[in-house]
Structure 1
Amino acid sequence: MQKECKCGKTLSIQLRTVKYSKKIHIRNVPIFSCENCEESEVLLDVKEDLTQLIQKIDPSYSKNQIFFNEINEFAHLLYVSSEKELIHIPIEDIIQLRINELLDILLLAQSLHDTKWVNETEKRLLQLTELIHF
């Protein structure tokens, strides 16, 4: 997944922190970034989830940081695949492990009749299937 910057250099994907309302740090957001001109932009594939997250933040939110990789599967995969102990594992294997993990979570959520948890897990699985077909 590469993109060209307006300066002509190739943008790289990095997990960065996005500041919201000067007090909340949204960590591990996948960003296209140019090391040459320092231009950056949120990846289109995660922009909708980031926008939805920001819209859901209550003005009285007391925490000062949110981990985007806990909300978005693409961010999660980038985060996990950059861990030193997993760097040697092919991304396809990491994706398969995550799918299996989410399927286990889905079964547990269904057995507990937790509709919110089921819906959230199904959304995450959908994000992964969209990534696989990318």
Structure 2
Amino acid sequence: MLKTCSCGETMRMKLRTVIYSSKVEIDNVPVYTCKACSRSEVYTVVKTDLTGLIGKLGAQPEKQTFRFDDWNEWANLLVEAFDVHKKQPDPALIDRLAGERIDMLLDLYSLAEKIGDNEWKNDISKRLTQLSHTASIHRSAIAP
């Protein structure tokens, strides 16, 4: 997954650790980085969830570590794609994994509905929303 940097060079996506308030490490955050100018930028589709997580931590958080892929379904999918591909994941692989993940979550939602577990349904619904809102942005961000 590539993006053009403001310096004109190509930025590559990497899964990075973001440090908040010098105490909290948030691992596996999708970030674009530019080798030419050292600019970094959090992947647009996960910014809202990252700022939401940081907001929940408060101004004076305790020392701790989070896996962002446990917090955001799109980051979770990218971790899987990077594990499979080891380098820059193929956009077709990401699309395939996203489709498989949506199918799995829909199956789980159906099960949660059958057993009447509203908390589980709400969690699955949030995850489906993260994937569906980001899928169209992801497709427009992929370089040919």
**What TM-score do the two structures reach when normalised by structure 1?**
0.83
Q: Structure 1 residue runs of 4+, over 3 Å off?
A: 58-62, 84-89
Which whole-Å CA distance do the structure 2 matches of 1:22 and 1:117 have between them?
33
Cα displacement string for residues 43-65 of structure 1 (whole angstroms, at most 9, x for unaligned residues): 22111110011111255656x21
1:20 matched residue in structure 2: 20
Question: CA, structure 1 residues 20+6, in 2 after alignment: closer, same or farther (shift >3 Å)?
Answer: same
Structure 1 unmatched runs, 5+: none
The alignment partner of 1:124 has SS state of helix
Q: Which has the higher helix share?
A: 2
Q: What is the CA-CA distance between 1:122 and the residue it aligns to?
A: 0.8
Give CA-to-partner distance per residue, 1:79-130, whole Å, 9 cap, x none: 0011148979833321222112212321233234332321221121122222
Q: Secondary structure at the match of 2:54?
A: helix
Q: Give the corresponding residue for 1:6.
A: 6
Alignment check: 8 A CA contact 2:25 2:66 kept: yes
- Tell me the amino acid that sits aligned with residue 101 of structure 1: M
Which structure 2 segments of 5+ residues have no match?
Answer: 138-144
Contact 2:26 2:65 in 1 (8 A): yes
* TM-score, length basis structure 2: 0.78
- Give 2:13's aligned amino acid: I
Change (3 A) 1:107 1:52: same
Partner of 1:97: 100
SS in 2 for 1:13: strand
Letter in 2 for 1:115: N
Q: 29-38 or 3-12: which moved more?
A: 3-12
Query: Greater relative contact order: 1 or 2 (C-alpha under 8 angstroms, separation 6 or more)?
Result: 2
| 2:113 maps to 1:110 | yes
Give percent identity, aligned residues only. 39
Q: CA RMSD in A?
A: 2.5
In structure 2, the CA distance between the partners of 1:85 and 1:50, relative to structure 1 (3 Å rule), is closer
Count how many residue pairs are aligned between Structure 1 and Structure 2: 133
The aligned residue for residue 44 of structure 1 is: 44
